[in-house]
Amino acid sequence: MFFEVILLVGFVAVASNPSPYYAALGLVVGAGSGCLMLINEGMTFLSLVLFLVYLGGMMVVFAYSAALVAEPYPEAWGSVWVLSYIGSYLAVLSVGWLLWGEFFTDEKVFDVVMFDLGGGLSEWWGVSGMFAAGGWVLFVGGWALLLTLFVALEVVRGHYSGALRAV
């Protein structure tokens, strides 16, 4: 239960970010607690892969966005707008917990993810167990990332200066 609450705190920190610097901190907290949830269920290899891939990719995005906004005085967590966002997100989470909280208490969420290996550990299967039936998802995901790269290059090429701006 502790890791789930920390995961929600990370979600709220990313959603109510006043500056990309603070959103990166919320991302690290959210990804770390999500991977700790997976470790708690016995999926250490999947947790390590997700942690490295997710944080590696998203931290690059946050580094570029932080470099593009480069504010000399970024807005902090104590701002009135940021606190109102945090309060509204926590209110929505509280209402959701009150309405649907009992639905998640009696069953384990990760039972669908675990492989039935006849009593053996799922960690021995590693990447082959993860992509046994989902190799086509990896292929489609690669094509989607390639398309995203071409779209980003075309957007940047639209202006002659690219991502640079006058300061």
Q: How far is CA 55 from CA 105, 113, 117, 128, in A?
A: 29, 21, 30, 22
pLDDT digits (tens, 9 = 90+) for 51-62: 888 888 777 777
Span 133-144, pLDDT tens digits? 677 777 888 899
Q: How far apart, in whole angstroms, are the C-alpha atoms of residue 138 and residue 122?
A: 20
Estimate the share of the chain in helix, then strand, then coil, as percent rounded to the nearest 5: 70, 0, 30
CA dihedral of 49, 63, 83, 37, whole degrees rounded to 10: 10
At residue 44, does pLDDT exceed 80? yes
In terms of C-beta distances under 8 Å and separation of at least 24 residues, what long-range contacts does 43-46 make, across chains too? 43/110, 43/113, 43/114, 43/122, 43/123, 44/123, 45/123, 45/126, 46/130
Average model confidence (pLDDT) for the chain?
75
pLDDT in tens, 97-131: 788 766 556 555 545 445 555 555 555 555 666 66
Decide if pLDDT at 94 tops 80: yes
Report percent pLDDT > 90 for the chain. Answer: 2
The answer to whether residue 4 scores a pLDDT higher than 80 is yes
Are 62 and 140 in contact by the 8 Å Cβ rule? The answer is no
